[in-house]
């Protein structure tokens, strides 16, 4: 098949898995522990387990100090990992032809919360208060300014599918010839507003989340960022297709039969030009809530069948909300990058207690590895409040150049 390829040529990442590709791969391989930490200060009455970035975050340069939030420090950390590649893009295409698309849901709301608290207590905002920190567009505006880019730049906020939808928007920018390359990814940082909100929904687990188990009882919130270069001209890992759907079943519950999830997965396959049998692994949305997991198991079983290796990596990352789609796409990217050596598949971490109400799916154990072959394809699911569903398919070896 002759394709019009799109490539994800570079990756920067920071999460509870670690900072950078080397640390992230080591954690996924079980060589170091993920930073799933019991934290105080996010709920008024108790500690809660949160996927936390523990490494030192570099302060933003003085010229970018007006953007200084934890969210933007995450983005700076990821962009710094691929800064040479971004500079090469600028030299090749020019600043007008490079876009920025960032999925997020928190922006700088934690800083805003702290500053409003100081105003209540002291009668005025601190000098560091910037209203713009709280705006959803802040991360994309920051990244555009940091590299003096002049192409299309905006943020996407559809809760837990935000950064997965950023890939779809990036594809549209490239196919419309509005850009030659796009910095695409997602970022979210821990904040009291979201942790408290999910607690109010009775969705937080007191322990490490337990996806697909009969004992599952909720999520752990996480934080982090992943940033890719999406381009037309070069790269080893291909963005084969993105499928979007919106079932609008309920403000905060998925359709019980996973109809929107099925449509997103089927659309991603159709746009990729591949079949369900071509999928070598799927990274599940896998939140460990009762409703999400049974819906997703039904959708995966219906579209891909019972044998495709599947896992949820949220017991290692927490649910990083607006950043989840990008971080989980990064896990696909890393696995595909090592595919020539028969890389181990990301393990499904849970208690092993099967829920008889879930259709059977092939949850990855520690002895399952990717079988090297000429063509590989992997899917990642992201499902959000309000029925905003996205499936992303990455691959290797599909392009005829």
Q: Which residues are catalytic?
A: 160, 285, 319
CB 382 within 8 A of CB 313: no
Helices 290-304 and 259-272, interaxial angle, to 10°? 40
Q: What is the dihedral of CA 227, 232, 238, 242, to 10 degrees?
A: 80
The pair of structure tokens assigned to 206 is 């007191």
Beta strands, E only, 314-364: 362-363
Helices 70-81 and 83-93, interaxial angle, to 10°? 70
CB 347 within 8 A of CB 362: no
The pair of structure tokens assigned to 20 is 């950078």
Give the span between the Cα atoms of 38 and 400, in whole angstroms: 49
CA-wise closest residue to 168 among 3, 380, 375, 398: 380
CB 79 within 8 A of CB 67: no
Q: What is the dihedral of CA 331, 332, 338, 341, to 10 degrees?
A: 120
Cβ density class 294-322: b for 16+ within 10 Å, e for less: bbbbbbbbbbbeeebbbbbbbbbbbbbbb
Residues 6+ apart with CB under 8 A from 387: 245, 246, 247, 248, 249, 250, 254, 255, 260
Give the span between the Cα atoms of 362 and 306, in whole angstroms: 6
CA-wise closest residue to 110 among 128, 92, 84, 122: 128
Strand partners, 231: 7, 181
DSSP count for the chain of H helices, then E strands: 11, 14
């Amino acid at each position: 098949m002759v394709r019009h390829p799109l490539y994800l040529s570079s990756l920067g990442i920071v999460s509870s898995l670690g900072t950078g590709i080397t640390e992230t791969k080591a954690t996924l391989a079980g060589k170091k522990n993920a930073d799933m930490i019991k934290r105080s200060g996010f709920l008024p009455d108790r500690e809660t387990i949160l996927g936390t970035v523990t490494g030192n975050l570099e302060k933003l340069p003085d010229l970018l100090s007006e953007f200084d939030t934890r969210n933007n420090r995450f983005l700076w950390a990821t962009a710094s990992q691929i800064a040479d590649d971004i500079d090469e893009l600028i030299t090749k295409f020019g600043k007008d032809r490079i876009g920025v698309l960032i999925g997020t849901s928190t922006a700088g709301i934690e800083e805003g919360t702290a500053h409003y608290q100081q105003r209540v207590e002291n009668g005025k905002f601190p000098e560091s208060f910037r209203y713009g920190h709280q705006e959803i567009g802040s991360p994309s505006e920051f990244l555009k300014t940091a590299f003096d880019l002049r192409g299309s730049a905006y943020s996407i906020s559809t809760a837990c599918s935000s950064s997965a939808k950023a890939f779809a928007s990036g594809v549209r920018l490239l196919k419309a010839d509005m850009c030659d390359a796009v910095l695409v990814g997602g970022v979210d940082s821990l904040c009291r507003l979201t942790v408290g909100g999910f607690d109010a929904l009775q969705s937080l687990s007191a322990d490490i989340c337990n996806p697909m188990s009969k004992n599952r009882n909720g999520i752990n919130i996480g934080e982090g960022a992943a940033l890719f270069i999406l381009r037309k001209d070069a790269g080893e890992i291909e963005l084969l297709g993105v499928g979007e759907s919106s079932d609008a079943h309920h403000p905060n519950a998925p359709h019980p039969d996973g109809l929107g999830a099925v449509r997103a997965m089927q659309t991603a396959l159709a746009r990729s030009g591949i079949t369900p049998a071509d999928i070598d692994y799927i990274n599940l949305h896998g939140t460990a809530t009762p409703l999400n997991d049974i819906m997703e198991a039904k959708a995966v079983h219906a579209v891909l069948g019972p044998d495709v290796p599947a896992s949820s990596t949220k017991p290692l990352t927490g649910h990083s909300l607006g950043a989840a789609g990008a971080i989980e796409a990064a896990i696909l990217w890393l696995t595909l990058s090592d595919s020539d050596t028969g890389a181990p598949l990301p393990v499904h971490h849970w208690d092993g207690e099967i829920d008889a109400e879930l259709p059977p799916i092939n949850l990855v154990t520690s002895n399952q590895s990717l079988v090297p072959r000429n063509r590989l394809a992997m899917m990642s699911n992201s499902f959000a409040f309000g029925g905003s569903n996205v499936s992303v398919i990455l691959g290797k070896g599909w392009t005829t150049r």
